[in-house]
Structures are given as structure tokens and as C-alpha cells.
Amino acid sequence: MEEQQKYARLFNDIDSQTLITLGVVLLATIVLIIVSQRGLNWIGNRMHGQVRFRIFALVPMTRLLILMTALAIIVPTIIEPSLRNMVTVMGALGLAIGFAMKDYVSSLIAGVVSAVELPYRPGDWVQIEDTYGEVKHVGLRTVDIQTPDDDLVYVPHLKLWDHAVYNANNGGTSLQCVASFYLHPEHEAGWVRKALRDVALTSAYLKFDKPIIVVAEEKPWGTHYRIRAYPVDPRQQFLFITDLTLRGKKVLSAAGVQSAMLPPDAALDTRNAVGSASSRGND
């Protein structure tokens, strides 16, 4: 009898007025979250430059604030907020989470961490494991990444705990692009370097307040050149790389610079290496 009274005191009396209050708070929370998420995304998608990223960064933070406010209202309404009650509830929750919903809750907690630490926010171009693309939405449990092939990949936030997140623009408008050229060893390297720099300087997509660097690396089969430069908008990265590649090829070809050709035995070796690597992956 005494035990029953103890448990009865854990929860407040739930009368009809409390139920209505809880319903209103829940409804208001859902409506506020939907309106704020859609509204901020709608505005952000119509903006350009740094303003766009600032608005997108507000999306997860706003949702977190709304949820915390709702919890702060709901929990004291249901549970008598004493230390003993809280310890009891936390213990029960911890047991349930530990057995049944570990990954789910881990993702939710990582979602809170991501809203505070901002390893990614909508508009960022990130790579998590093998997925590269633009962050479209940072949800409670997952981050939605749109790949260049237009696939939407839902990556759980718990990847944050044990995987590296490569963020190409980190909430800004500067995203470095790399266009590669593989050239035959017999060429005038100084001229090629200057020509490739001119290719970048005359691109319509180039962002001028960032440096252009042409890197040359000698390989057994020839020389690998890379143009490292920044487009005006991160969303132009593939157009920018295509523009650099096409015009670079045209300039080099017009000057008689030949592309590197792998000798047959090297090509075979490479194919074997790829074959063995993929078979190891299958094992």
C-alpha cells in the first residue's frame, strides 16, 4: 500500500485540464517547429552569399530552443519535480535506452551536439564516410545530404562520435575546387603552369578574393597538374571544375601538349591492383 503511494506521488494528478494543457503545448511545439524550419529554409534558399549560411545555421538551433522550452513546460506538468522523482525517472529511462533504443537516442544526443558545435549546417558541402553532397536539412536524428547525383542520403548524427566530417566550406562561401590535368612528361612546365593559371583567371565563376594555385607533381607516367581555385558560390563547384577542365584541355591541346598515357604494363598493374582491392573489400 505504501509502495503504491510512493509511485502515485511520482506523477502529478493528470486531470482533463492538464491533458488539454499538454495537448496545446505539444501542438504549439509541432506547429512552431514546422513553421520555423520551413520558413527559415524558404528564406535561406532565396538568399545568396554569407546571409544564406547564417539563416541556415539558425534552423537546428531554433528547433532545439523550441524543444527545450516545450520540455521545460511538459516535464513539471507530468512529474513532481523533486530530486528523488527525477533520479527514478532518469534511471528508468536509462534502462530502456540502454537495452532497446541505444542508437536512436545516441543520434538524438548527437543531433543536440551538432546544433551547438555546428560541424555541419544547411548549405555546407560535407563528406561523411562515402557520402559527399550539400547539407539540405539538419534533423533531430539525421542530417539530410543531397549528393551531386540528386540522391538524398539520410546520415544519422551518431556518425559524429566515431567518423570524420569533412566540411568543404564550413558555413562560408569559400569552397576550394581542384581541376586535374595529367600530362606527358615532355612539355614546357613553366608555360603550362602559366597557361593553367590564365585558365583560372579567365573563368566566369572565379572568386577573386581567394588565391589561385597551380600545383605540379611528377609521377612515373608524367606530370600531374592541379588548379586549386574557388568559385563565387559553392553551388557552382561542378560547373567551375568543368569550365576549368574544358578550357584547360583546349589551351593545352592547341599548344601541342600531350596527355599522359600509361604504358600497357602499368595499366595492367593498376587494373590488377584495383581488382585485388575490390576483392578484399568483398571479403
Partner 1 sequence: MGEQPSSADTPLWEVVELDQFHTPEQTQASQWRRSLRSASKWLVGKSAAEQQVKEESELRALPEVRLAHLVPPIDWSFAAKALAQQLESCEAPVIFFITPPHSGHTSVVRQWAEEHHVACLPPPTLNELAKGGTEWVERCINQQKWAVPALERHFLRHTQGIQGIREFLERALSGRLGQGVIGCDSWAYAYLQQVIGIDGAPVFTLQSMEGEQLSRYFAAMATHEGQPPGVYSTRTGKQVLSDSASKQNGKAPNKELQRLAAHCRGHIGLAWHYWRERLREPKAEDEEALWLVDALAEAELSADTGDIATLVLHALLLHGGLDDHALGDVLPFSHHEALNARLALQRKGIILSCEGRWQITPLSYASVRQLLASRNYLVDPL
Question: Which residues are near partner 1 by CB under 8 A?
Answer: 46, 48-49, 51, 173, 195, 198-199, 201-205, 207-208, 232-233, 236, 239, 242-243, 247, 251
Give all strands (DSSP E) within the chain, no chain letters: 125-128, 131-138, 142-146, 152-156, 165-167, 177-183, 213-219, 222-229
Cβ nearer to partner 1, comparing 146 with 245: 245
- Residue 140 per-residue DSSP state: S
Shortest distance, position 58 Cβ to partner 1, whole Å:
18
Cβ nearer to partner 1, comparing 50 with 82: 50
CA distance 157 to 134: 15
Cβ nearer to partner 1, comparing 158 with 232: 232
Shortest distance, position 147 Cβ to partner 1, whole Å:
20
Shortest distance, position 174 Cβ to partner 1, whole Å:
9
Cβ nearer to partner 1, comparing 48 with 184: 48
Shortest distance, position 48 Cβ to partner 1, whole Å:
5
- Give me the sheet containing 125-128, strands edge to edge: 152-156, 142-146, 131-138, 125-128, 165-167
User: Among all chains, which residue has been given the C-alpha cell 608524367?
Assistant: 222
Backbone angles phi, psi at 41, to 5 degrees: -65, -40
Shortest distance, position 202 Cβ to partner 1, whole Å:
5
Contact (CB, 8 A) for 217 and 196: no
Cβ nearer to partner 1, comparing 78 with 251: 251
